[in-house]
Amino acid sequence: MNKSIKFFPGLLIALFLFFYGQIYSQNTFDEISFMNLGIGYGSNYYPYTTTICPPIHASYEYLFMDNVGMGGLIGYTSSQSVYRYNGLNLNGINSKYHFGWRHDYFQFGIIGAYHFFNNKHFDFYGGLMLGSIHETQKFATKDDITQALTKSNPDIVMEGVHWSILAGGRYMFSDKYGIFIEGGTSFSYARIGVTRKFN
């Protein structure tokens, strides 16, 4: 595994904290930030697998200008692929077996957004995200003949750097709480959830 990719999430966190400190120390605007918690829909990662956990996301954005914000995002999703077949067991009796892979994804990213329209109730924005996705694949089987494959197929870990264009909007039904919908957050095509506003 590329060591520079392995430590990329830590680098993202360090960069976020550095720029956040610089921005916060020079801020002359009203302090406003948003925290989102949402569930994603659709994914281009292993589309022919069965979902175990749908994409879930949590993000935080701090507006250091009236219309410009910066923040971070984390996410998780998992799925599995199962293959079933008939075969002979160790006693020569025909039996049903299955084996498969489980895929777990963790996402880390920095987001920057420009808010085109932002008032008391409505907020529409667009921006970019730079991040990484950490994937783990685990092999499992209950076939007593191919059980040894579990030992010869260790967990596979892959990481990659990615970027994404994002666009979204939120509706605040009170001073502090609202709902949002957003697209373009990498391993899910769209997500919807709740927003908490801090000021």
The pLDDT value given to residue 194: 96
Q: How many domains does the chain have?
A: 1
pTM of the model: 0.74
Strands 50-63 and 68-88: antiparallel
Q: Which residues of 97-135 are buried (b: 16+ CB within 10 A; e: fewer)?
A: bebbbbbbbbbbbbbebebeebeeeebebebebbbbbbb
Output the pLDDT for position 31.
75
Which residue range(s) make up the domain with 14?
3-198
Q: What is the CATH number of the domain that holds 72?
A: 2.40.160.20
CB 167 within 8 Å of CB 181: no
Mean pLDDT of 106-127: 89
SS3 11: helix
